C-alpha cells in the first residue's frame, strides 16, 4: 500500500476531472459519493504511508517517487517528483482527514444548492492541488500546487458569483495573493539561477553548509516568506481573508482555516534548513507572526459577523505558527498547525451549522440563546472555543504552550509576552462569540427564529469527530514538563525539520504553563463579565473610548488605506493610460492606417478603368521596361 | 537557303502587327485573333532558333504551345460567345463594368 503513495493527490484530481466533465449529468447522490470516496481513498493511502513511515527507523528519508521528467534546461532540472516524509505525512493526513470530514459535511450543507457538482469538482480539485503542494519534492512543483490552491480558493470564494460581494471577494483574494506570489516567484528564480536543483533537500543542505551564500539565503528566505504572507494572510497581505468569508462555510473551514492558509507555515517548515541558516529571515518571520497575531486578535474583538470573528482568529493563530517557526521551533509551529486545523475547522463548521439553523443569518447581534435549540452544535462549538482559548488539557493548550515555551526558551521574551497577550485576547473574543451566540436572550428575526432546527446527521457527525480530535490531538505532543519522551509529535518531526532542544528548568516550565493557563482563564473571565454578567459594559466602554472603538470596528482602516494608496492610484493610472494611450495612440494608429489605405485607394482609383485596352497597354509598357532591363 | 535572320524579322513583324491590331481593333473577336498572331510569331521565333542552333527543344516547345493554344482558343471563343449572348455586344469599350 505504502508504495502507492504517489496516488494520494491523483485520486481526488481524477475525481475532479470526472466531475468537471460529466458532473451535470450525474445525480446529486452520485456526485456526493464520488467526491467523498475519492478523498477517503486518499486518506486511507496517506494513513498506510504514514504507518509505513512511523515503523521505519527515525530520520529515515521517507518515500519518494519521480513520476516524469519535467523541466530540464542546461544544468538545471526539475522533475515531477513526490516525497512523502514525516512533514508531508502529517500535512497529508490533516488535508485528507479534515478534508474528508468537510466533504461529508458539505453533502448536507450544499444539498440544496443547484451547482453542487461544480462545488464538489472544485473541492476535489483543491484537495488535489493541496496534496501536490504538500508532497512536491521541489520548489517548482510546490509552486504549481501553491498557485493551484490559490485558483481553487478564488473559484470557491466566488462560488455564489451571482452575489457581487462574493465575486469581488474572490477577485480580491486572487489579486492580493498575486502580490505575494510575485515575490515567491522571484525567490524561486534566485534559487534556480544559483543552484542546479530546486529540490527542498538540496536547498536545505546548501543553506546549511554555506554553499548558498548567507546573504542570498536571507534574500531567498524573505522573498519566499512574502509569498507566504499572501497565502497565509499575514501582515501586510492579510486583507483578503476576512472578505473570503463570502464563500460557502465548509470552504472557509477547509481552505481558509485548516489547510490552504497554513501552506505558508508548511513551506517555512519544509525549508527549515534555509530559515534556520538565516537569522535575519527567521527574525522577520517571528516578528511578522507576532505582530499579526496581536493585530488580528484586536480586530476580532469587535466583529459582529460570526464568520469574520473566526477569520480574524485564523489570521491571528497563523501568526502564532509563524512565531514558532521564527524562533526555530518548526515542530511546534507544525503542531499548532495540526491542532488548529482540527479546532478551527470545527469552529467554522459549527458556525456553519448555526448559520444553517438560522437560514443564513451571520450577524451575532441577531442570535443568542441558541444553546437549547442546537443540542449537538453547542457542545462541540464549546469544545472548539475551549481548545483555541488554550484551556488546559485540550489540544490548543499544548500546541500554543509549545510555541510560547520555545519563544521563551530562545530568549525572545518580547515575543513571548506578545503571544501571552494574544492568548488573553483569543480567549476573550472566542467567549464573546460563545456568549453572544448561544447564551442570553434570543434576538433572532421572527423568520429566522421560526426556522431554527438542529442540522442533519451528515453535518453533526463530522462535528463530533472534529471535536474529539480537538480534545485529543494535543496528547501527541506533551510538553517536556511531562518528560521528554512524551513529545511524540516533536520526535516524529525530527525526521524532516530542524529541531532545537531547549533546556528549561522544570520549575520555569511549570511557571510558563501556569501563566498560559492564567491568560486563557483571564480572557474567558473578561468575556463573562462583559457579555454575560453586565451586558451594558461593552457599550459603555465603546462610548468611553470612541476613537479606539471606531478604529477597531473600522479594522484600522487598512482596507481604506490600501484602497487609497494602491488600488485607486492603479485604477486611475490604468484609466489615464486607457484614455491617453489606448484611445489616442493605439486606436489612432489603427484608424490612421485604415484612413491612409482608403486615401491611397481613392487616389489610385483612376487606374482601374475597366477597359481591356488600358490594361493591355500597362502590360505592354511593363514588358518593354522588363525587356529593356534584360537587354541593357 | 533562307537565312535565319529573315525568320526573325518575319516573327518580329508579325508580333508588332499583332500588338497594333490588338490596340486598334475594338471587338473582342478580332483582338483575340491578334493575340493568336502574337502567339504564332513567338512560335516562329522558336522554330527559327531551333533550326539555326540545330537543337530539337525549340520544336518541342512549339508543339506544346500549339496544344495549349488550341485549348485556350476553345475557352476564349466560348467566353466570347457567352459574353455576346449576355450583352448582345462584344465591343470592349462597352464592357467596362469592372471600373473602380
pLDDT at residue A234 in the model? 93
Task: Phi first, then psi: give them for residue A165, nearest 5 degrees.
Answer: -60, -40
Q: Confirm whether B98 is domain-assigned.
A: no
Dihedral of alpha carbons A15, A18, A23, A29, sign: negative
Q: If you count residue pairs, one on A and one on B, with CB atoms under 8 Å apart, how many are there?
A: 28
From the number of C-beta atoms within 10 Å of its C-beta (0-12, 13-18, 19+), residue A215 rates as: exposed
Percent of residues, chain A, with pLDDT higher than 70: 99
Rg of chain B over CA atoms, in angstroms? 17
pLDDT value at B24 more than 80: yes
Residues of A in contact with B93 (CB under 8 A): 611
Question: How many DSSP H helices and E strands does chain B contain?
Answer: 3, 0
Q: Which of A263, A466, A232 is nearest to A345 (CA)?
A: A466
Q: Confirm whether B26 is domain-assigned.
A: yes
pLDDT value at A106 more than 70: yes
Q: Confirm whether B47 is domain-assigned.
A: yes
The pLDDT tens digits for A561-583 are: 888 888 899 999 999 999 999 99
Q: Running DSSP on this structure, what letter comes out for residue A84?
A: E
pLDDT at residue A482 in the model? 66
Q: Where are the alpha helices (DSSP H) in A232-329?
A: 240-243, 249-253, 263-270, 272-277, 279-300, 306-326
- Report the mean per-residue pLDDT for chain A: 90
**Number of Cβ atoms within 10 Å of the Cβ of A168:** 15
- Is residue A497 helix, strand or coil? coil
pLDDT at residue A367 in the model? 87
Q: What is the DSSP string of A392-437?
A: TTSHHHHHHHHHHHHHHHTT-HHHHHHHHHHHHHHHHHHHHHHHHH
The pLDDT tens digits for B79-91 are: 999 999 999 998 8
- Is residue A440 helix, strand or coil? coil
- Is residue A82 helix, strand or coil? strand
What's the mean pLDDT in A334-341? Answer: 94
Between A211 and A100, the higher pLDDT residue: A100
Q: Which residue of B has its CA nearest to A617?
A: B23
Confidence of residue A372 (pLDDT cuts 50, 70, 90): confident
Residues of B in contact with A603 (CB under 8 A): none
Q: How far is A593 from chain B (nearest CA, A)?
A: 21
Of B92, B97, B100, the CB nearest to A613: B92
User: CB–CB of A367/A453 below 8 Å?
Assistant: no
Q: Confirm whether B100 is domain-assigned.
A: no
pLDDT value at A180 more than 90: yes
Residues of B in contact with A627 (CB under 8 A): none
User: What are the Cα distances from residue B1, in Å, to A281, B6, B56, B57?
Assistant: 106, 11, 19, 22
Alpha-carbon gap, residue B34 to A616, rounded angstroms? 12
Of B23, B97, B100, the CB nearest to A613: B23
Q: Does A603 touch chain B (CB under 8 A)?
A: no
The pLDDT tens digits for A32-42 are: 999 999 999 99
Q: Does A593 touch chain B (CB under 8 A)?
A: no
A359: left (phi over 0), alpha (psi -120 to 50) or beta: left
Task: Phi first, then psi: give them for residue A545, nearest 5 degrees.
Answer: -120, 70
Contact check, Cβ <8 Å, B100/A610 = yes
Contact check, Cβ <8 Å, A617/B99 = no
Q: Does A611 touch chain B (CB under 8 A)?
A: yes
What's the mean pLDDT in A367-381? Answer: 89
Confidence of residue A23 (pLDDT cuts 50, 70, 90): confident
Residues of B in contact with A610 (CB under 8 A): 95-100
Confidence of residue A63 (pLDDT cuts 50, 70, 90): confident
Q: List, as ranges, residues 16-35 from B with C-beta within 8 Å of A.
A: 19, 22-23, 31
Question: How many DSSP H helices and E strands does chain A contain?
Answer: 28, 2
Q: Which residue of B has its CA nearest to A612?
A: B92
**Number of Cβ atoms within 10 Å of the Cβ of A77:** 15
Q: Does B75 touch chain A (CB under 8 A)?
A: no
Residues of A in contact with B92 (CB under 8 A): 611-613
pLDDT value at A486 more than 70: no
- A125-139, A218-232, A542-556, B32-46: least confidently modelled range: A542-556
Of B19, B22, B96, the CB nearest to A611: B96
User: Per the omega criterion (within 30 degrees of 0), is the bond before A87 cis?
Assistant: no
Contact check, Cβ <8 Å, B92/A616 = no
pLDDT at residue A589 in the model? 94
Q: Which residue of B has its CA nearest to A603?
A: B100
Q: Confirm whether B97 is domain-assigned.
A: no
Domain range holding B85? Answer: 4-91
Task: Phi first, then psi: give them for residue A4, nearest 5 degrees.
Answer: -90, 15
What's the mean pLDDT in A179-204? Answer: 90
The pLDDT tens digits for A492-518 are: 888 788 877 777 777 888 888 899 999
Residues of B in contact with A616 (CB under 8 A): 22-23
Contact check, Cβ <8 Å, B99/A613 = no
Q: What is the ipTM of this complex?
A: 0.85
pLDDT value at A621 more than 90: yes
Contact check, Cβ <8 Å, A605/B100 = yes
A473: left (phi over 0), alpha (psi -120 to 50) or beta: alpha
CATH code where residue B10 lies: 1.10.287.3510
The pLDDT tens digits for A593-611 are: 999 999 999 988 888 888 8
pLDDT at residue A516 in the model? 92
Q: List, as ranges, residues 428-457 from A with C-beta within 8 Å of B.
A: none
Contact check, Cβ <8 Å, B31/A612 = yes
Q: How far is A600 from chain B (nearest CA, A)?
A: 13
The pLDDT tens digits for A225-269 are: 999 999 999 988 999 999 999 889 999 999 999 999 999 999 999
Q: Confirm whether B38 is domain-assigned.
A: yes
What's the mean pLDDT in A275-295? Answer: 93
Rg of chain A over CA atoms, in angstroms? 29
Of A610, A616, A620, the CB nearest to B99: A610
Q: Confirm whether B99 is domain-assigned.
A: no
pLDDT value at A56 more than 90: no
What's the mean pLDDT in A332-342? Answer: 93
What's the mean pLDDT in A6-27? Answer: 92
Which residues are A457's β-sheet partners? none
Q: Give the total number of structural domains in chain B.
A: 1
pLDDT at residue A484 in the model? 59
Amino acid at each position: 500500500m505504502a508504495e502507492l503513495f504517489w496516488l494520494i493527490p491523483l485520486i481526488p484530481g481524477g475525481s475532479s476531472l470526472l466531475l468537471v466533465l460529466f458532473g451535470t449529468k450525474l445525480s446529486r447522490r452520485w456526485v456526493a459519493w464520488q467526491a467523498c470516496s475519492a478523498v477517503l481513498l486518499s486518506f486511507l493511502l496517506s494513513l498506510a504511508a504514514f504507518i509505513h513511515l512511523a515503523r521505519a527507523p527515525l530520520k529515515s528519508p521517507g518515500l519518494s517517487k519521480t513520476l516524469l521528467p519535467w523541466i530540464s534546461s542546461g544544468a538545471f532540472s526539475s522533475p515531477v517528483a513526490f516525497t512523502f516524509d514525516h512533514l508531508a505525512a502529517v500535512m497529508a493526513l490533516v488535508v485528507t482527514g479534515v478534508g474528508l470530514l468537510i466533504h461529508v459535511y458539505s453533502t448536507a450543507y450544499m444539498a440544496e444548492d443547484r451547482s453542487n457538482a461544480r462545488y464538489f469538482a472544485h473541492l476535489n480539485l483543491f484537495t488535489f492541488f493541496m496534496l501536490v503542494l504538500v508532497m512536491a519534492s521541489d520548489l517548482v512543483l510546490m509552486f504549481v500546487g501553491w498557485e493551484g490552491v490559490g485558483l481553487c480558493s478564488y473559484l470557491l470564494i466566488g462560488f455564489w458569483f451571482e452575489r457581487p460581494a462574493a465575486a469581488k471577494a474572490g477577485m480580491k483574494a486572487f489579486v492580493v495573493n498575486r502580490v505575494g506570489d510575485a515575490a515567491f516567484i522571484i525567490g524561486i528564480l534566485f534559487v534556480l539561477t544559483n543552484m542546479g536543483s530546486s529540490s527542498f533537500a538540496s536547498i536545505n543542505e546548501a543553506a546549511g553548509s554555506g554553499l548558498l551564500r548567507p546573504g542570498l539565503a536571507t534574500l531567498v528566505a524573505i522573498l519566499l516568506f512574502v509569498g507566504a504572507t499572501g497565502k497565509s494572510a499575514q501582515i501586510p497581505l492579510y486583507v483578503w481573508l476576512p472578505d473570503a468569508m463570502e464563500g460557502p462555510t465548509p470552504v472557509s473551514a477547509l481552505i481558509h482555516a485548516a489547510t490552504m492558509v497554513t501552506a505558508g507555515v508548511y513551506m517555512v517548515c519544509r525549508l527549515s534548513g534555509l530559515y534556520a541558516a538565516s537569522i535575519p529571515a527567521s527574525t522577520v518571520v517571528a516578528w511578522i507572526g507576532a505582530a499579526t497575531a496581536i493585530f488580528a486578535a484586536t480586530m476580532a474583538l469587535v466583529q459582529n459577523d460570526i464568520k469574520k470573528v473566526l477569520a480574524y482568529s485564523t489570521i491571528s493563530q497563523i501568526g502564532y505558527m509563524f512565531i514558532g517557526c521564527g524562533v526555530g521551533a518548526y515542530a511546534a509551529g507544525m503542531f499548532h498547525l495540526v491542532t488548529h486545523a482540527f479546532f478551527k475547522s470545527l469552529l467554522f463548521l459549527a458556525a456553519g451549522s448555526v448559520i444553517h439553523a438560522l437560514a443564513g443569518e451571520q450577524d451575532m447581534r441577531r442570535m443568542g440563546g441558541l444553546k437549547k435549540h442546537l443540542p449537538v452544535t453547542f457542545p462541540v462549538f464549546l469544545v472548539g472555543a475551549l481548545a483555541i482559548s488554550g484551556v488546559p488539557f485540550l489540544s490548543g493548550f499544548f500546541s500554543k504552550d509549545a510555541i510560547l515555551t520555545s519563544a521563551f526558551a530562545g530568549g525572545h521574551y518580547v515575543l513571548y509576552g506578545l503571544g501571552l497577550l494574544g492568548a488573553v485576547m483569543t480567549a476573550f473574543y472566542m467567549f464573546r462569540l460563545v456568549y453572544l451566540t448561544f447564551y442570553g436572550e434570543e434576538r433572532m428575526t421572527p423568520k429566522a427564529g421560526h426556522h431554527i432546527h438542529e442540522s442533519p446527521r451528515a453535518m453533526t457527525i463530522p462535528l463530533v469527530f472534529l471535536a474529539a480530535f480537538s480534545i485529543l490531538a494535543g496528547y501527541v505532543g506533551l510538553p517536556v514538563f511531562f518528560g521528554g519522551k512524551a513529545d511524540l509529535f516533536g520526535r516524529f518531526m525530527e525526521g524532516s525539520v530542524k529541531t532545537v532542544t531547549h533546556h528549561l528548568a522544570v520549575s520555569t516550565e511549570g511557571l510558563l504553563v501556569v501563566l498560559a493557563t492564567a491568560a486563557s482563564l483571564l480572557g474567558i473571565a473578561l468575556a463573562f463579565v462583559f457579555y454575560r454578567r453586565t451586558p451594558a459594559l461593552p457599550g459603555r466602554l465603546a462610548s468611553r473610548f470612541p476613537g479606539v472603538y471606531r478604529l477597531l470596528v473600522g479594522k484600522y482602516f487598512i482596507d481604506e488605506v490600501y484602497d487609497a494608496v494602491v488600488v485607486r492610484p492603479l485604477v486611475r493610472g490604468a484609466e489615464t493610460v486607457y484614455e491617453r494611450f489606448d484611445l489616442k495612440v493605439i486606436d489612432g494608429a489603427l484608424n490612421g492606417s485604415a484612413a491612409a489605405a482608403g486615401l491611397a485607394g481613392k487616389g489610385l482609383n483612376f487606374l482601374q478603368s475597366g477597359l481591356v485596352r488600358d490594361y493591355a497597354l500597362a502590360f505592354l509598357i511593363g514588358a518593354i521596361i522588363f525587356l529593356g532591363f534584360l537587354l541593357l | 537557303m533562307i537565312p535565319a535572320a529573315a525568320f526573325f524579322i518575319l516573327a518580329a513583324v508579325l508580333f508588332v502587327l499583332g500588338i497594333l491590331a490588338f490596340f486598334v481593333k475594338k471587338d473582342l473577336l478580332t483582338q483575340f485573333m491578334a493575340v493568336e498572331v502574337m502567339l504564332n510569331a513567338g512560335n516562329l521565333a522558336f522554330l527559327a532558333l531551333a533550326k539555326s542552333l540545330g537543337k530539337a527543344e525549340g520544336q518541342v516547345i512549339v508543339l506544346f504551345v500549339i496544344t495549349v493554344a488550341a485549348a485556350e482558343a476553345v475557352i476564349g471563343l466560348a467566353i466570347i460567345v457567352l459574353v455576346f449572348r449576355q450583352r448582345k455586344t462584344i465591343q470592349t469599350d462597352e464592357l467596362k463594368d469592372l471600373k473602380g
